[in-house]
Structure 1
Amino acid sequence: PDTVLVSAPARHPGAGFFNPTFSPLPIGDPNRGLENTKPPEYLTAASFDKRQALIDGFDRKFRERYPLQRVKQYSDFYTEATSLLTSGELKAFDLNEEKPEDRDRYGRDAFGQGCLLARRLIESNVQCVEVTCGGWDMHSSIYNGGTLPARAGIMDKAMGNLIKDLADRKLLDETLIVLTTEFGRSPVINYNAGRDHHPAVFSSVMAGGGIKGGQFYGKSDAAGHAVDEDGVAPADFNATIATALNLPLAEIVHSPTGRPFKVAHDGKVLSKLL
């Protein structure tokens, strides 16, 4: 697959406004890899081929009667799934291929194992891997034995080892790593010893392919309440990512309904980062 989604919530937008061909392959639990890929012992290769031929026979008549793009995409999913089932690349999804000490190094939590899986998929030429790390909606008791230090440690361990391994394998210069979120947390501690939603200021991290490391861009005020210098809009962020990946900013593509899009709308590229 071109795109793989690891540990994401069910509400993930998938392909968005575009057709299902662009939907990511979801992996719910990185420890379990790509499930339901091993055929039962009683199902021989010949029997499997007969079943596929039977499905195709039923579907062909339907496709001929309803020659719609969505119908074709449904059949294409079967073709792609069958191709993956018989591919030697399936082992990339199996974390049991890794040494126990390497799995420990990333952390045995979902995010750590997800980042390890991402490294394996990148080594197998998957173009885009998204790994979700949830649990940051901390409105109460985040310090003094609370959840924040533990979550930060989980992320630090996984991200650090992902960057290190990609660098050791000479893959970091051709792999863009982006760590981001949907909004920040309030600079003022609330009455429950937690932090509330704060979309006015938050940070993201970019590393690897196309990025000049060791710098920061933008600045908040002293309280972390508002942007003070060089604010970055989502379109600017997307434009910078697209430029690092050599994607055409000016090209217009269309959704199945004819809606026009550009990869970053009219965002400006943050050239200082590249």
Structure 2
Amino acid sequence: MCESLEPFDEIDRRAFAVHMAKACFGVGMIPLLGTGTQVFGQQGKGGKAKKAIYLFMSGGMTHLDTFDPKPGAETQGSTKAIKTSVSGVQLSEHFPKLAERMNKLSIVRSMTTTQGAHAQGRYLAHTSYPPRATVRHAAMGAWVAKVKGQINKNVPANVVINGGSDHPGAGYMDLKYAPLPIGDPTAGLQNSKLLGGVSEQDFNRRLNLVAKFGNQFLARYPFKEVEGYGAMYAEAIRLMQSEDVKAFDVAQEDSKLRDTYGRGNFGQGCLLARRLLERDVRFVEVQLGGWDTHVDNFETLAEKGPEVDTAVAALLDDLERTGLLSETVVVLTSEFGRSPKINERVGRDHHPAAYSSLIAGAGIKAGYVHGASDDRGHFVDDDEVPVEDFNATIAQALGIPVDQIEYSASKRPFKIANDGVPVDKLFA
């Protein structure tokens, strides 16, 4: 995990020390020192959400076959549109459950991005910055973890479920803000139990020995990155020894509820996200891949659509039932959309010019459609929302000032949504 989330701007003696620290489990298990931050005041609407669930459709989700159908247009293909609980608003036929719950959410049909390749598009969607060779930017979850902090000290503030190795993670921020990665939401928190034959007394004795060596290493290399590894391990041990580790076990849920979410990794990931929010995890991302529909777009949507429809509808209902929806912002987005033109392989190609996202929950309007694409779904026709503005909206919903500045190790200034501006029309 750590290799894919390294926050280095340059390779030097400091970086060498950090690499060495990887070999010292538990090095410097003490709290991190503060990092460079310039804080400004919260502006505009929003700020009601304490937590976030970020559902990322990796691969480029088609907007025409999901949340922005164009019935009658030659670009629509075989996907039909259906009515929703909001008069005049239609969704794709693959989303009947969300159509019934349209009065609980908002759709942004005027999303746009500057990146048309997967890796760059995912990076921009998560960080609000295009990739650079000299710095790794921090993803939204890391920002939330740093600015808002932990509510429950036994659980991480930031978790990613079904994520890929190219996730930006904490970027240039301290490692303690990096997401805890969960590969299989049905497997519980792996490696969280002591090995057979190792007693708790033995485990604590080994930890004390490792900490002794680690503190000596930290005294020689007193860098915050080195401390970061120690803080990360200390947090993992604290979670292992707490009752909150049970939150990661979806098998404890009623079988019927698990069926309601869908038994696939995405459905169970959404259920796990709800369980983690109940234990006061701040930010949970759940990814679903397979949206790169260059071939057989319509066959793929017949499978992907119901999977997402079932899981997200169950999630919204469950959050409402438990009272969590009033304090949580729920987002569903992708790196870009798919082309209106249907190619010779009955697929749709990459399309950054226009796509759609969903947003719901604390302080967000319900039953609202923001913006519009043109009649073919090719370009934004009204109220354009660049990905940076969408991320600024999420930040403002969480009460994070969009003009707050964080500095990298090389003293470069960055903001949570770059120069994005919140879309105030999305707030109730």
Query: Normalised by the shorter chain, which TM-score bucket?
Result: over 0.9
**Aligned equivalent of 2:404:** 251
SS at match of 1:167: helix
Q: Distance in 2 between matches of 1:265 and 1:68?
A: 27
Q: Distance in 1 between matches of 2:317 and 2:337?
A: 27
Q: Distance in 1 between matches of 2:418 and 2:245?
A: 36
What RMSD, in angstroms, separates the aligned Cα atoms of the two structures? 1.1
**Aligned equivalent of 1:115:** 270
Listed as ranges, the gaps of 5+ residues in structure 1 are none
Q: Structure 2 matches for 1:86-105, cutoff 5 A?
A: 86-105=241-260
Residue 142 of structure 1, aligned match among 297, 304, 318: 297
Q: How many angstroms does 1:98 deviate by?
A: 0.5
Q: Distance in 2 between matches of 1:259 and 1:135?
A: 35
Larger RCO: 1 or 2 (CA < 8 Å, sep 6+): 2
Which letter does structure 1 place at the counterpart of 2:354? V
Q: Structure 2 matches for 1:178-257, cutoff 5 A?
A: 178-257=331-410
Residue 313 of structure 2, aligned match among 146, 160, 163: 160
Q: Structure 2 matches for 1:35-50, cutoff 5 A?
A: 35-50=190-205
Which letter does structure 1 place at the counterpart of 2:228? Q
The reply on whether 1:126 has 2:292 as its aligned counterpart is no
Q: How many angstroms does 1:188 deviate by?
A: 1.1
Q: Distance in 1 between matches of 2:404 and 2:320?
A: 32
**Aligned equivalent of 2:5:** none
Q: Distance in 1 between matches of 2:278 and 2:209?
A: 36
**Aligned equivalent of 2:160:** 5
**Aligned equivalent of 2:14:** none
Q: Distance in 2 between matches of 1:138 and 1:249?
A: 34
Q: Distance in 2 between matches of 1:238 and 1:77?
A: 27
Q: How many angstroms does 1:142 deviate by?
A: 2.5
SS at match of 2:203: helix
Listed as ranges, the gaps of 5+ residues in structure 2 are 1-155
Q: Distance in 1 between matches of 2:225 and 2:424?
A: 40
Q: Distance in 1 between matches of 2:230 and 2:281?
A: 22
Check conservation: 1:19, 1:256, Cα contact below 8 A: no
Q: Distance in 1 between matches of 2:173 and 2:410?
A: 9
Q: Distance in 1 between matches of 2:297 and 2:377?
A: 18
The reply on whether 1:15 has 2:170 as its aligned counterpart is yes
Q: Distance in 2 between matches of 1:2 and 1:123?
A: 12
SS at match of 1:130: strand
**Aligned equivalent of 1:67:** 222
Q: Distance in 2 between matches of 1:49 and 1:67?
A: 25
Q: How many angstroms does 1:22 deviate by?
A: 1.1
Check conservation: 1:174, 1:208, Cα contact below 8 A: yes
Q: TM-score, normalised by structure 2?
A: 0.62
Distance 1:219 1:192, change over 3 A: same
Runs (4 or more) in structure 1 with deviation over 3 Å come to: none
Residue 171 of structure 1, aligned match among 324, 328, 335: 324
Q: How many angstroms does 1:174 deviate by?
A: 0.5
Residue 418 of structure 2, aligned match among 251, 265, 270: 265
Q: Distance in 1 between matches of 2:350 and 2:196?
A: 52
Which letter does structure 2 place at the counterpart of 1:176? V
Higher-strand-fraction structure: 2
User: After the TM superposition, which of the residue ranges 74-83 and 120-129 deviates more from structure 2?
Assistant: 74-83
Q: TM-score, normalised by structure 1?
A: 0.97
